């Protein structure tokens, strides 16, 4: 099944096998939000966005329309079905389902859900996010309740450049979170570094992290680096809207307007402590990582690149010399 899907992904696997890792694929990806023109004509950013969404929709229809692909959550193997159902958050009041993807602003979306449900006073309330309490998960419902909501509710997800998302997870979990350093970091260093037995797990290199991902079964990955395809199953769940991290506020406002949320509910601003992954940061990490590692890792995330219209990472020698 996976082999057939990859072959259908616009020839991306062939490009990987040939070592062609330059930016290929869709037109200018994920243009920034821009104001509408007063003369009624679309701005260049709006036209690029329209092309992007059309590319994404056509690719999803082509891949998900294949007979071998799952067309409902009930056609998924039990493990895959559990994963997607426990990532679908429910708002019965506003009749929507949101598939949360870690490292794609999911904490802020959970904050919004809690405000809409009355469990939180404001999206600006400070404090550590509780990712379980006061949230309703589709997986906790009965089969007939699940089917009804999948059929009748507005469904949306937000996606992000796969390599940028991986780098964000790496910097956050191994640079800041002691629990992840102890649970994953110690084992990664022990496994991939000579004489790494004394590490506290807080010095995992990006290359070691990628080697770990290469050896991991996708279905058993931690949700912070599991591919979006596996988390949200866009073939089994027909999403009404796919937002982009690159257009986070504009796309979030589109969703909030569609579900007719109260006017006082807005998408939160980025926290002051948050360290964003810039294009320069991503360039630095990718160009200081063995090309072989990235080349071998891409097939695991190929569906995220192709379905959501993200270009493959450019790690050519010429680009990395810049």
User: What's the pLDDT tens digit per position in 267-282?
Assistant: 988 766 667 899 999 9
Q: What is the model's pLDDT at position 43?
A: 79
Percent helix, strand and coil across the chain, each to the nearest 5 = 50, 5, 45
Whether the full predicted model's pTM is greater than 0.75, yes or no, is yes
Distances (CA, A) of 293 to 59, 213, 309: 27, 10, 22
- Using CA atoms, how far apart are residues 37 and 255, in angstroms rounded to an integer? 22
pLDDT by residue (tens digit) across 43-52?
A: 787 888 888 8
Q: What is the model's pLDDT at position 125?
A: 76
Q: How confident is the model at residue 31 (pLDDT cuts 50, 70, 90)?
A: low
Residue 11, pLDDT above cutoff 50: no
pLDDT by residue (tens digit) across 96-110?
A: 999 999 999 999 999
Q: How confident is the model at residue 29 (pLDDT cuts 50, 70, 90)?
A: low
pLDDT by residue (tens digit) across 201-228?
A: 999 999 999 999 999 999 999 999 999 9
- Using CA atoms, how far apart are residues 35 and 39, in angstroms rounded to an integer? 12
Residue 71, pLDDT above cutoff 70: yes
Distances (CA, A) of 213 to 63, 88, 146, 204: 25, 24, 32, 13
Question: In sequence order, which residues have a C-beta less than 8 Å from that of residue 254 and are 6 or more positions away?
Answer: 241, 243
Which is more confidently placed, 321 or 190? 190
Q: What is the model's pLDDT at position 8?
A: 43
Residue 7, pLDDT above cutoff 70: no
Instruction: Name the maximum alpha-carbon separation found in the chain.
Output: 66
Report the DSSP pairing between strands 241-244 and 88-91. unpaired
Q: How confident is the model at residue 14 (pLDDT cuts 50, 70, 90)?
A: very low
């Amino acid at each position: 099944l996976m082999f057939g899907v990859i072959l259908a992904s616009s020839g991306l696997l062939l490009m990987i096998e040939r070592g062609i890792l330059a930016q290929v694929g869709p037109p200018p990806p994920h243009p920034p939000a821009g104001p509408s023109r007063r003369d009624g004509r679309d701005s260049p950013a709006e036209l690029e966005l329209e092309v992007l969404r059309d590319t994404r929709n056509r690719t999803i229809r082509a891949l998900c329309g294949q007979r071998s692909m799952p067309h409902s959550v009930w056609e998924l193997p039990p493990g895959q079905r559990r994963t997607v159902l426990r990532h679908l958050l429910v708002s019965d009041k506003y009749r929507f389902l949101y598939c949360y993807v870690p490292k794609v602003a999911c904490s802020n979306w959970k904050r919004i859900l809690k405000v809409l449900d009355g469990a939180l006073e404001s999206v600006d309330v400070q404090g550590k996010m509780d990712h379980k309490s006061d949230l309703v998960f589709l997986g906790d419902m009965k089969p007939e309740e699940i089917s009804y909501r999948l059929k009748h509710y507005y469904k949306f997800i937000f996606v992000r450049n796969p390599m940028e998302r991986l780098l964000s997870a790496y910097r956050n979990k191994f640079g800041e979170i002691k629990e992840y350093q102890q649970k994953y970091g110690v084992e990664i260093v022990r496994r991939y570094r000579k004489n790494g037995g004394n590490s506290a797990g807080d010095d995992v290199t990006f290359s070691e992290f990628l080697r770990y991902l290469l050896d991991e079964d996708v279905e058993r990955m931690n949700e912070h680096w599991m591919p979006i395809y596996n988390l949200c199953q866009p073939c089994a769940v027909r999403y009404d809207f796919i937002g982009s991290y690159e257009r986070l506020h504009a796309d979030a406002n589109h969703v909030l307007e569609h579900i007719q949320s109260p006017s006082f509910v807005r998408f939160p601003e980025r926290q002051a402590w948050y360290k964003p992954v810039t294009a320069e940061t991503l360039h630095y990490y990718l160009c200081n990582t063995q090309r072989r590692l990235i080349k071998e890792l891409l097939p695991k995330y190929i569906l995220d690149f192709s379905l959501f219209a993200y270009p493959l990472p450019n790690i050519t020698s010429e680009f990395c010399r810049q």
